[in-house]
């Protein structure tokens, strides 16, 4: 089990709109949110939490570009330097017929690179056991958590009762 | 993915006034219960068929390609037909998961998981054929360029057959990533309901997913880019498969219409296979409220459109053959329709062009019974299409002295039936270990697709209006 060494106080909501509302309220009260857990991606949550846009797609572009270069330069080197052969009267450097493989490797590198990056930066991997605040957050409950260092338990309690949380709990993770 | 305003004409995509918890319950429970008798019987049949297929593959490898009916004139026949057929079937999964995601078609969520699984299993079946066809399967790794002690000597990067190797391996692995990334949150849902060893296994499968907001944000970003990558990829795969034929100098093969015509045919046959599977799956796993008549009708519309495109392509080919004024091309098409294999051309035309036209009638489009039979028809028709293109064309080549006839041997038929066994074996295991409908994605569209929010039986109309208002404000 991975340890964060954090004491959290968290509230459970039964609807994503209540959660979204609570997140906006917490933001307006300048309460620092530790994390939010939901069974599905909640529309508008990124903006409400003020999360910066994911840069994964930039990584995807870079991986793709590497794939393009590997494929194109690789075939160029093989057919003009390493072992030049004439196929069907084509020139050694037959650019049009390199395009399909160049395209495929671009997609291959981009997809694999992005996916592996995604799992690595999220700390998700087979065998990893990440701490969970409430098992029902993969079912029908929505959870908003504060670090007790940032928000005192009494402040959190009054916030949760105001914003309509069903339950409030604390946990060390 | 979801959110936004729903047009009042939209019909619900999730029936039965589901709550979030009910969705988890309905979709996780098939993996938690003991298998039903029907499942066990069907599984035994699939595995037996698969075992016979494996025996036939072994027989081919042991005795050699001479056990097949291919001959010097018809060097490509049954196996390549089956290869193209399976690859084509795979395309519908990617179309549903990627292209319909980009087009924001919400009905895809009911069927995308199973359709992507179908893609992966269909590509596995397809990839078997070229591997066996090379004859010496123990040197099949020569397909791939790797530094070797023979020079290094490399494969021919100018050859469409090598493009195929790259296209299919990329397609398979990217589809697998896309599918699995979608499965990760759903495996976490199953994990959190399980205990003991089962919990351990599902925790490993879910990679320790927690559902944190930042993870969801990246997950959505990843899904969208993978969809964006898969879209040109899926079109490239069947385009490259068609290049296997189109770049040759065989009359009837070297036509520029092949890439779009193959892609349309692939989507056509793939949707038919999705229908075959969905009609059975929704009945056996009692998922009629998630895979509704609405979904079936939408897919039948796709079948109607792509079937008609394929029909237009057949007629265009005939017209161009005549218009080209090139006797060999004219003969190739005349021979297809009236030659020794006239029956396969007839089967192709009837099943692919004429029969889908019944879907103009709304009542037939919404009938589960008709859909099931049509889906089988279309699959047969598309198999005939590939047979017509491959065997019929080769049987009558430039030299009448080498004209020949091809009929499959029991070994070839065994391998083909074996791949169907393989496909169903994998699919049935999949229905036991993973949610057949994407749980997180269904929950995501509940408020815009659930029948308590939209449609005639809606009881939460007001709530829904505020929801759509708040999300539109957000854009």
Question: How far lies B217's CA from each of A51, B108, B449, in Å?
Answer: 9, 20, 22
Whole-angstrom distance, CA of residue B271 vs CA of residue B304: 10
From B20, B208, B215, residue closest to A129, measured CB to CB: B208
3-class DSSP state of B192: coil
Q: What is the pLDDT of residue B291?
A: 92
Nearest-Cα residue of chain B relative to residue A95: B158
Which sequence spans correspond to the domains of chain B?
20-463
CB contact under 8 A, B203 and A98: no
Q: What is the pLDDT of residue B475?
A: 39
Q: What share of chain A is helix, strand, coil (3-state, %, to 5)?
A: 50, 15, 35
Whole-angstrom distance, CA of residue B441 vs CA of residue B431: 17
All residues of chain B having their beta carbon less than 8 Å from the beta carbon of residue A131 are: 210
Q: Which class does domain A7-53+130-172 fall in?
A: alpha beta
Q: What is the pLDDT of residue B454?
A: 81
Whole-angstrom distance, CA of residue B207 vs CA of residue A129: 8
The answer to whether the CB of B3 falls within 8 A of the CB of B470 is no
Question: How far lies B65's CA from each of B57, B137, B258, B453, in Å?
Answer: 10, 11, 29, 60
CA B372 to chain centre: 16
β-strands A167-172, A142-147 pairing: unpaired
- Tell me, what's the ipTM? 0.94
Measured in residues, chain B has a length of 475
The number of CA neighbours under 13 Å toward the Cβ of B41 is 4
- The mean pLDDT of chain A is 92
Whole-angstrom distance, CA of residue B348 vs CA of residue B355: 10
3-class DSSP state of A9: strand
Whole-angstrom distance, CA of residue B103 vs CA of residue A66: 29
Nearest-Cα residue of chain A relative to residue B147: A78
From A44, A132, A140, residue closest to B210, measured CB to CB: A132
The answer to whether the CB of B219 falls within 8 A of the CB of B183 is no
Measured in residues, chain A has a length of 173
Strand arrangement of the beta sheet that strand A7-13 belongs to: A35-37, A142-147, A7-13, A167-172
A:B CB pairs within 8 Å: 194
- Going by C-beta distance under 8 Å and a sequence separation of 6 or more, which residues neighbour residue B469? none
Q: What is the pLDDT of residue B4?
A: 56
Query: Along the 475 residues of chain B, how does pLDDT read in single tens digits?
Result: 444 566 777 788 888 888 999 999 999 998 998 998 889 999 999 999 999 999 999 999 999 999 999 988 998 899 999 999 999 999 988 888 888 888 888 888 889 999 999 999 999 999 999 999 888 899 888 888 988 888 888 999 999 999 999 999 999 999 999 999 999 999 999 999 999 999 999 999 999 999 999 999 999 999 999 999 999 999 999 999 999 999 998 888 988 999 999 999 999 999 999 999 999 999 888 899 999 999 999 999 999 999 999 999 999 999 999 999 999 999 999 999 999 999 999 999 999 999 999 999 999 999 999 999 999 999 999 999 999 999 999 999 888 899 999 999 999 999 999 999 999 999 999 999 999 999 999 999 888 888 888 877 777 754 444 444 444 444 3
Q: What is the pLDDT of residue B465?
A: 46
CB contact under 8 A, B21 and A42: no
Minimal CA separation from A30 to chain B, in Å = 18
Tell me if chain B has a CB within 8 Å of the CB of A124: yes
Minimal CA separation from B261 to chain A, in Å = 18
β-strands A35-37, A167-172 pairing: unpaired
β-strands A35-37, A7-13 pairing: unpaired
CB contact under 8 A, B192 and A41: no
Which sequence spans correspond to the domains of chain A?
7-53+130-172, 56-122
Minimal CA separation from B360 to chain A, in Å = 37
What residue ranges in B179-291 does DSSP mark as E strands? none
The DSSP code sequence of B231-242 is HHHHHHHHHHHH
CB contact under 8 A, A137 and B213: no
Burial class (CB in 10 A: 0-12, 13-18, 19+), B338: exposed
């Amino acid at each position: 089990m991975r340890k964060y060494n954090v004491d959290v106080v968290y509230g459970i909501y039964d609807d994503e709109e209540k959660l979204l509302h609570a997140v906006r309220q917490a933001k307006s009260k300048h309460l620092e949110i530790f994390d939010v857990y939901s069974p599905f991606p909640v529309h508008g949550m990124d903006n409400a939490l003020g999360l910066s846009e994911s840069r994964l797609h930039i990584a995807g572009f870079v991986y793709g570009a590497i794939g393009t270069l590997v494929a194109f330069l690789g075939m160029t080197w093989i057919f003009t330097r390493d072992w030049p052969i004439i196929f069907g009267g084509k020139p050694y450097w037959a650019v049009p017929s390199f395009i399909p493989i160049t395209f495929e490797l671009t997609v291959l590198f981009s997809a694999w690179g992005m996916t592996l990056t995604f799992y690595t930066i999220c700390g998700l991997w087979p065998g990893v056991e990440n701490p969970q605040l409430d098992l029902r957050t993969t079912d029908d409950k929505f959870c908003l958590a504060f670090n007790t260092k940032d928000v005192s338990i009494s402040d959190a309690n009054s916030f949760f009762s105001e914003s309509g949380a069903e339950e409030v709990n604390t946990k060390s993770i | 993915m979801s959110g936004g305003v729903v047009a009042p004409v939209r019909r619900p995509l999730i029936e039965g006034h589901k709550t979030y918890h009910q969705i988890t319950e309905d979709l996780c429970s098939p993996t938690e219960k003991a298998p039903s008798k029907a499942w066990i019987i069907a599984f035994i049949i699939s595995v037996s068929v698969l075992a016979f297929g494996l025996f036939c593959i072994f027989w081919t490898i042991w005795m050699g390609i001479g056990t097949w009916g291919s001959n010097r004139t018809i060097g490509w026949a049954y196996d390549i037909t089956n290869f193209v057929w399976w690859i084509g079937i795979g395309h519908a999964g990617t179309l549903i998961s990627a292209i319909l995601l980009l087009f924001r078609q919400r009905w895809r969520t009911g069927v995308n998981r199973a359709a992507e699984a179908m893609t992966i299993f269909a590509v596995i079946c397809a990839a078997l054929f070229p591997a066996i066809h090379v004859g010496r399967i123990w040197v099949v790794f020569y397909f791939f360029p790797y530094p070797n002690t023979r020079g290094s000597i490399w494969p021919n990067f100018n050859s469409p057959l090598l493009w195929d190797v790259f296209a299919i391996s990329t397609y398979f692995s990217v589809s697998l990533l896309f599918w699995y990334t979608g499965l990760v949150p759903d495996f976490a849902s199953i994990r959190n309901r399980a205990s003991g060893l089962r919990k351990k296994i599902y925790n490993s499968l879910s990679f320790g997913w927690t559902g944190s907001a930042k993870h969801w944000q990246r997950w959505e970003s990843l899904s969208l880019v993978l969809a964006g990558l898969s879209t040109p990829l899926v079109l490239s795969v069947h385009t490259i498969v068609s290049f296997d034929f189109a770049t040759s100098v065989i009359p009837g093969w070297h036509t520029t219409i092949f890439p779009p015509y193959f892609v349309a045919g692939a989507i056509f046959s793939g949707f038919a296979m999705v229908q075959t599977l969905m009609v059975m799956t929704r009945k056996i796993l009692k998922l009629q409220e998630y895979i509704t008549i609405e979904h079936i009708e939408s897919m039948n519309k796709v079948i109607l459109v792509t079937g008609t495109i394929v029909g237009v392509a057949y007629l265009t080919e005939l017209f161009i053959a005549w218009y080209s004024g090139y006797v060999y091309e004219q003969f190739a098409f005349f021979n297809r329709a009236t030659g020794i294999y006239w029956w396969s051309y007839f089967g192709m035309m009837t099943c692919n062009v004429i029969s889908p036209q019944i879907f103009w009638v709304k009542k037939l489009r919404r009938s589960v019974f008709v859909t099931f039979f049509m889906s089988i028809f279309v699959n047969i028709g598309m198999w005939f299409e590939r047979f017509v293109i491959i065997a019929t064309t080769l049987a009558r080549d430039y030299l009448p002295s080498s004209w020949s006839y091809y009929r499959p041997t029991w070994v070839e038929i065994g391998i083909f039936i074996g791949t169907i066994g393989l496909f169903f074996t994998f699919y049935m295991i999949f229905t036991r270990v993973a949610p057949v409908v994407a749980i997180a994605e269904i929950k995501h569209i509940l408020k815009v697709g659930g029948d308590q929010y939209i449609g005639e039986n809606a009881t939460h109309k007001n709530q829904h209006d505020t929801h759509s208002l708040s999300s539109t404000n957000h854009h």
